[in-house]
Chains A and B, each alone.
Chain A
Amino acid sequence: MTYFEFLNEHGITLLLGTVTTVKVLVCSMILYVIISMIFGLMRLSKNPLIQGTATVYIEFFRGTSLLVQLFWAYYVLPFFGISLEAFTAGVVALGLNFGAYGAEIVRAGILAVPKGQWEAAHSLNFTPAKRIKRIIIPQIFPIILPPAANLTVELLKATALVALVTVVDLTFEAKQINSITWLSAQCFGTALLIYYIMARFALVPFLRWLEVLAARKVGKEKA
């Protein structure tokens, strides 16, 4: 069987799997960005309770393996009467895990905003909420986007794990085709290529574009 015959026969299946992978990626990306913002801010709170909650959350999700969290969400939560669909469990686990890493990036980004900006906002009598929303947050994007871009590529790679809790994504399809045809080089090779193309020619250019956009917004042109 030549490679073209293989693609002819299984290409559609792999592409359908890719669509699911993209769905998982987009959903978990949205979730992780929201979580990182909330917990990144909570981490800087002066209230020890709020700060402690955020610290425990971050240390917990960064200290355990994503796969364990995924299996926990899918196989253990039903013990407590919470049955999540595989897709939901996957997205939630990915979002919570990457949210913990993202929160640290957000925290570092907020700390990197020059102190004078805080003081200026203070002296102009902005309310704390307005200070964060209008002065600080817009300035953190150029700082946090490069590390967040790395994290997002890691997220794309991590979406492969949801196949192990029976989400029918690209990895799942590749495994399935492998177990039927035993054309391992073709199906896993193709899957690797698709992931590579997604990361290199879609996700990374998109994130670079965001970086340029964010830099322009605060008046720092980026080459």
Chain B
Amino acid sequence: MEMGWRWDFTYEILPQMAIATLNTILAAGVGYAIALIVGLFFLLAQRTPSKIFNWVNREIVEFIRSTPLLIQLFFVYFVLPQFGITLSAWVCGMITIGLHFGTYMSEVYRGALEGVSKTQWEACRALNFSTIYTYRRIVLPQAFPIAIPGMGNYLVGIFKDTPLLSTIGVAELFHAATAVGGYNYRYLEPYTLVGIIFLTLSIPAAMWIRKLERDVNISQGKIKK
């Protein structure tokens, strides 16, 4: 077997990898969207007055957060069919990622809401604003900039965790690399390409998030240009 980097092989597999990259981006995007919504539900569950309900919710969040995503994927993928629910690998993967990162997202939301000073609430109460108006016009606009770094980090985090989906057979980038590598018995180029593709996508994403953070802070008048 030929050692060293082979450019002809690289060019040969490039189109396949490019298509698989689109799948990875799709998986990350859908997973992120679900996580954003699931996070809201966990947040709402935290803020209900019922003590028992809060406790149960907290334990569920704690459980999901302290167990590996990989086994959660296996659990959803292999266990649901036992109860007669057969879902495709894609759906299982999206549900699991959404749930797993939804718990993280709820913490981001909570931190952001708590980051808004209590006196803001008191001022709104004094001005006789309704709760909805207070949230919409006073609290949320101030909470949003606080939430941006966390939300951005988890977008990149989900993107970097999508290779796990390959273990249940979702045809994303890493899956394609393993398939190509196994077929040709050359893992050097496929896996290196995966690494390069991840770098070229996640570093600009991280930079964009940092810029967004700055822009929002400027528009809020927190820092000057």
Contacts and interface: CB of A to CB of B under 8 A. Distances in A.
A18 interface: no
Interface in B36-85: 62-63, 65-72, 74-75, 78-79, 82
A57 interface: no
B187 A157 contact: no
A76 B188 contact: yes
A174 B78 CA distance: 12
B74 A189 contact: no
B67 A157 contact: yes
B68 A64 contact: no
Q: Contact residue range for chain A? A: 35 or more
Main secondary structure of the interface of A (DSSP, over half): helix
A69 interface: yes
Contacts of B68: 157-161, 171, 195
B63 A160 contact: no
B191 A72 contact: yes
Contacts of A191: 71
A178 B78 contact: yes
A180 interface: no
A68 B163 contact: yes
Given A65-B162, A185-B82, A192-B71, 11 more contacts: A63-B198, A64-B195, A64-B198, A65-B163, A67-B163, A75-B191, A157-B66, A188-B74, A192-B75, A195-B67, A200-B62
23 contacts: A59-B203, A60-B199, A65-B161, A68-B174, A68-B195, A71-B174, A75-B187, A79-B188, A157-B66, A157-B68, A160-B71, A161-B68, A178-B74, A184-B75, A185-B75, A185-B79, A188-B75, A188-B78, A192-B63, A192-B75, A195-B68, A196-B67, A200-B66
